[in-house]
């Protein structure tokens, strides 16, 4: 049961910029850092952004993350065909003795 809300889908043409929102609450995003995951078809999730806006080594700078209050967003600039897949946000939640929560997921389609 996801407690972080994302739009079900978004799309863009190659080269465009798309953004994905992630809405939470004070017990998760409002008080903890946010990670973003990319899941390409048939593969395991891969960390795209950690600690709100940090990119792991090897992740292109086309991907950027931000957080404000109880919401976060992921931006993909210069959209490429290989970016097509599912994207999830995630954050620790301090309620119920603490647990990790994921977003509902957003399907990115490159037109």
Partner 1 sequence: QAQLVQSGGEMKKSGASVKVSCKAFGYTFSAHGITWVRQAPGQGLEWMGWFSAYTGDAYYAQNFQGRLTMTRDTSTSTAYMELRSLTSDDTAVYYCARGQLLADYWGQGTVVSVSS
Angle among Cα 93, 10, 107 to the nearest 5 degrees reads 60
CB atoms within 10 A of CB 29: 28
Binding of partner 1 by 59 (CB under 8 A): no
Residue 102 vs residues 15, 16, 34: alpha-carbon distances, Å: 28, 26, 10
Q: Which of 24, 65, 85, 105 binds partner 1 (CB under 8 A)?
A: 105
Residue closer to partner 1 (CB basis): 13 or 41 = 41
Choices 13-21, 49-57, 65-73, 76-84; region in contact with partner 1 by CB under 8 A? 49-57
Q: Which of 68, 81, 82, 96 binds partner 1 (CB under 8 A)?
A: 96
């Amino acid at each position: 049961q996801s407690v972080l809300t994302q739009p079900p889908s978004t799309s863009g043409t190659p080269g465009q910029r798309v953004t994905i929102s992630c809405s939470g609450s004070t017990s998760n995003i409002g008080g903890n850092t946010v990670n973003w995951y990319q899941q390409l078809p048939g593969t395991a999730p891969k960390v795209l952004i950690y600690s709100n806006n940090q990119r792991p080594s090897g992740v292109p700078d086309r991907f950027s993350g931000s957080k404000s209050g109880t919401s976060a967003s992921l931006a993909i600039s210069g959209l490429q065909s290989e970016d097509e897949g599912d994207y999830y946000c995630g954050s620790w939640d301090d309620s119920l003795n603490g647990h990790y929560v994921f977003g509902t997921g957003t399907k990115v389609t490159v037109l």
